[in-house]
Amino acid sequence: MPDGDVQTMTRQRPGEMPRHWLLLAAVGTLLLAAARSGTAVTLIPLNGPTGKIVQVVAASGSEIDRVVVEGQQVRLAGAGTMALFTIPYGLPPGPHPVEVYDKAAALLGKPFFVVDATKTAPVPQLTGHELGYLTRHEPGTAGGGPRPVIRLVLYGSGFDTNSVVVLDDRELERSFPPGVPVSLFDETFLSTEYDRLLVALLDPAHDLTKGAGPYAVVVRNRVTGQRTDAYNVVIPERRILVEVHRMTSDKPGFSPPDEPEVVERSTSHELNSLRRIFTDAGYLLDIRHQGPQRWTHPEEAPSHPELGVGPFFSDREAVEFDRCLATLRWTAAENGEWYVHVSLLSRLATGDAEVLGLTLNESTRQGVAIFTSAIARGDDGSGQADPQQVVRTFAHELGHALNLTHCEDDGEHLTLMTRSELAATKWTFTFSPGSRTHLTGHPLCEVMPGRGNLPLNSPKRIEPWCGR
């Protein structure tokens, strides 16, 4: 049971109607009411304990503006035709009407939510955070065009839609990009499956800037008044532009990650994301996805797959990789920008090794490639890349781009740059202390990618932790 998800269980007494009969009756009543009113509003789910985060969807396409539960307006997360709200903690078991209104105060529907157990409000706790540099497109806003924002994601428990972020005693409003369905954000915004996440999009022009902080962050529940302990957030000064080029194919057996997010954020129960890893190491990632570049040419399929050995770094991919290198050559700025060009490819087997990733070790260190089909091969039989392994490989290659070597002599054998545990499963998803020393403490030319800086493994490079 998740933290804070304490149900008040009641035993059935002799002569009482069985509990699930009551639920069935309530749901039946609810469905009957819905059928009579012809409501265009759906609740997901229809029943649950108090404190449950419920999604409300206006099927008619109307925009949801206000939700009232038993006469009490609840705070919404999200906008448009879908929103999230929290079932108030004080409600008794049984069906409760949920009135949903649009912006014109017209009643869109009045479905019922059945409270089947009462919970006490959990104490919210903060366990971690990540920062990301995003480009937010708001064409409708004044000034128009993309606007950079720093997104703060807070990891913890006991959050719900009444939770607010307080930064240096100033309460921040959650916000969502206009026009983006809230369902795209529900995992990021709030999750009931694992440690809950709370997202704050912060505008660096007004709120946060690179290198600023520390800020004291607290998450407070507006309804219960409970709050987390203060948590310090420092905005890293170094921002790396990570341009990800996904090269996918219709070739049989080719299975790159379907979702761009897989390289950014784990979908498993372990919350390891690229942004979190690099926030922890003192860097702000600006991940931009290019593509996917999908080929549909019939000749892409191997003419004789029976003679082949599965998906490979195809010629067409090689061409695309070349294009990436060309792009790298022509667009890599030597103006102080931290830039890494990432190619997601399928597979490069050399006969004696299965290559998971590579880094071009010219003085730029700006080109890396990740071979997702190689990462996926045989690990669970599904042929799909394990997001954790993709994240791990991605972070590992970015580490090379920042001139980290396979420092295995520092005693941290499960950290991100370890090579001998490349295929292991219990990584820490952190850089070793020695690697951290390099990332934030060594001269810029030894760390920063870009022409003129030191190549990987350079003998000029100081590697005190490696003993080499």
Partner 1 sequence: MTAASMARRVAWLAGCMLCNTVACAAEPASFSFDLVPREVSIVVGEPVVLEGRITNHSPKSAQVAPLFDPAYGLASYVIKRRDREPERFQPYVIYDAVPLTHPLAPGDVLRGSVPISCGAEGYVFKDPGLYMISGSFQDIQAVPVTVSVRAPAPGAEAQQAAVMSQADACHFLLMQAPRSFEDAAKEVQRAFNQPAHGALWRAAGLVLMEDSEGREDLGSCAARLDDPQRALDLAGQIGAGPPLTGQLRLRFLERAISASVAANQPEAGRAYYNQLVSEFQRDNRAQYIITHSFGLLHLADPFIVLKAIPITVTVAGAALPAACSAESVEMAPRTGRVRVKRSLAAAITSLRAEVSGVHEVDRQTGLAAGRATVVAPIQASGHEPQEVEVQLRLRGTIDKQVSGRVEIDRSALPQGLEIEPAALRVNFKLRVPCYRQSFDLPLDRIRLRPTGAYSVGSRVGVELAVPPDLQELIIGADIEGSSQVRIHRH
Nearest to 117 by CA among 82, 93, 87, 153: 93
Q: Which stretch binds partner 1 (CB under 8 A): 102-110, 111-119, 271-279, 376-384?
A: 376-384
Minimum distance between the CB of residue 404 and partner 1, rounded to whole angstroms?
Answer: 11
Interface residue with partner 1 among 35, 139, 352, 426 (CB under 8 A) is 352
Tell me whether residue 19 or residue 413 sits nearer to partner 1 (CB atom): 413
Q: Which of residues 283-302 bind partner 1 (CB under 8 A)?
A: 302
Q: Is the peptide bond before 298 cis (omega within 30 degrees of 0)?
A: no
Give the Cα separation of 60 and 101 in Å (integer): 12
Q: Which stretch binds partner 1 (CB under 8 A): 172-180, 209-217, 284-292, 303-311?
A: 303-311
350 in contact with partner 1 (CB under 8 A): yes
Tell me whether residue 12 or residue 425 sits nearer to partner 1 (CB atom): 425
Minimum distance between the CB of residue 222 and partner 1, rounded to whole angstroms?
Answer: 46
Interface residue with partner 1 among 114, 360, 385, 416 (CB under 8 A) is 360
DSSP label at residue 335: S
Partner residues linked to 233 by β-bridges: 215
Interface residue with partner 1 among 45, 362, 443, 451 (CB under 8 A) is 362
467 in contact with partner 1 (CB under 8 A): no
Q: Which of residues 60-99 bind partner 1 (CB under 8 A)?
A: none
Tell me whether residue 59 or residue 424 sits nearer to partner 1 (CB atom): 424
DSSP label at residue 298: G
Residues in binding contact with partner 1, number by CB under 8 A = 59
Site string for partner 1, 441-460 (x = CB under 8 A): --------------xxxxx-
Tell me whether residue 229 or residue 322 sits nearer to partner 1 (CB atom): 322
For tokens 């700025």, the residue is 333
End-to-end CA distance of the chain: 49
**Residue 405, token pair as written in the block:** 């070597």
CB 163 within 8 A of CB 199: no
**Residue 155, token pair as written in the block:** 């990891």
Partner residues linked to 255 by β-bridges: none
Tell me whether residue 335 or residue 420 sits nearer to partner 1 (CB atom): 420
Give the Cα separation of 16 and 14 in Å (integer): 6
Minimum distance between the CB of residue 217 and partner 1, rounded to whole angstroms?
Answer: 36
Q: How many CB atoms lie within 10 A of CB 334?
A: 11
**Residue 26, token pair as written in the block:** 């309530």
Give the Cα separation of 382 and 375 in Å (integer): 12
**Residue 286, token pair as written in the block:** 């600006």
**Residue 302, token pair as written in the block:** 């191997």
Tell me whether residue 103 or residue 329 sits nearer to partner 1 (CB atom): 329
Nearest to 219 by CA among 260, 176, 180, 161: 161
Amino acid at site 328: L
Interface residue with partner 1 among 103, 222, 294, 329 (CB under 8 A) is 329
Q: Which stretch binds partner 1 (CB under 8 A): 15-23, 116-124, 353-361, 444-452?
A: 353-361
Q: Which stretch binds partner 1 (CB under 8 A): 84-92, 175-183, 234-242, 349-357?
A: 349-357
Nearest to 368 by CA among 358, 380, 376: 358
319 in contact with partner 1 (CB under 8 A): yes
Helix (H), strand (E) at residue 35 = helix 19-37
Helix (H), strand (E) at residue 365 = none
Tell me whether residue 239 or residue 396 sits nearer to partner 1 (CB atom): 396
Site string for partner 1, 3-42 (x = CB under 8 A): ----------------------------------------
252 in contact with partner 1 (CB under 8 A): yes
Give the Cα separation of 66 and 99 in Å (integer): 8
Q: Which of residues 380-439 bind partner 1 (CB under 8 A)?
A: 380-381, 393, 396-397, 400, 406, 419-420, 422-424
Helix (H), strand (E) at residue 26 = helix 19-37
Q: Which stretch binds partner 1 (CB under 8 A): 28-36, 133-141, 271-279, 312-320?
A: 312-320
Tell me whether residue 100 or residue 448 sits nearer to partner 1 (CB atom): 448
**Residue 281, token pair as written in the block:** 């190491």
**Residue 258, token pair as written in the block:** 């379907």
Minimum distance between the CB of residue 279 and partner 1, rounded to whole angstroms?
Answer: 23
Partner residues linked to 341 by β-bridges: 243, 367
Binding site for partner 1 (CB under 8 A): 252, 302-310, 312, 315-316, 318-319, 321-323, 325-329, 349-363, 374, 377-381, 393, 396-397, 400, 406, 419-420, 422-424, 455-459
